[in-house]
Amino acid sequence: MEFTVSQIARMIDHSILQPQFTSEDVREGCAVAAKYHVASVCVRPSDVPLAVELLHGTDVQVGTVIGFPHGATSTEVKVVETEQAVARGATEIDMVINIGWLRSGDIAAVENEIRAIVQAAGEAPVKVILETAYLTDEEKLAACWAAERAGAAFVKTSTGFAPKGATIDDLALMRSAVSPKVQVKASGGIRSLDTLLAMAAVGVTRFGSSATADILEDLARRQASAPTGRD
């Protein structure tokens, strides 16, 4: 399937998450997001009010991260984080599961926590970050199944802060694990158009990336230089 620049842009969550980023970095990131009309920005929780202000009147959603990046804060804290983020204007929520609980085999606790975040998020879709770098295939499957049972809108590979990000094999596994009503988001190491397109081919519909401009400009150049089929 061939995509337009606009279609690819609407599949990207522009990431503005590095701990050293200043308010000016957030402003610049939001400007990129607005310029290319991406699906959303994904900002640190403290940056939600600024991003909401900067993107008011645009078609870009404001998302944020919960329990980021390790997933080890208590469920109660994650719930409060989520409630506060939504109250401040976040319209998408990316939460990190408790990786230790999952690896310990306590799937019920993982599922209950996801469900609590989904409930706290209200109408905001919840994307469940598995952090696949630390998991076996069996654990990835269990997390995907738990996320769907708990009402998550997406399962997502990575925070971008683990030793390994998204891979085609992991994405294909995750896509096979959930029903069509749950989408798959790839994040971590998505810095080229070719990588994004290969992942879209296995069913990924959302991408977390900070290389938004490079990806979209590359696609625009390719399409501009492509033969038109006319004599």
Give the catalytic positions in this structure.
94, 156, 185
78/89 Cα distance (integer angstroms):
17
- Tokens 């990336």 locate to 209
Structure tokens at 120: 């706290």
What is the β-pairing status of strands 61-66 and 206-209? unpaired
Report yes or no: 146 and 112 within 8 Å, Cβ to Cβ: no
End-to-end CA distance of the chain: 25
Distance CA 53, CA 47 (A): 10
The packing angle between helices 168-177 and 137-149, to 10°, is 40
| Contact by Cβ (8 Å): 46, 32 | no
Alpha carbons 209 and 213: distance in angstroms, whole number: 10
> Scanning the structure block, which residue is given the tokens 């999952």?
102
| Cα angle: 44, vertex 216, 47; to 5 degrees | 10
User: Which of these, 203, 156, 192, lies nearest to 40 by C-alpha position?
Assistant: 156
Closest CA relative to residue 111, chosen from 64, 148, 146: 146
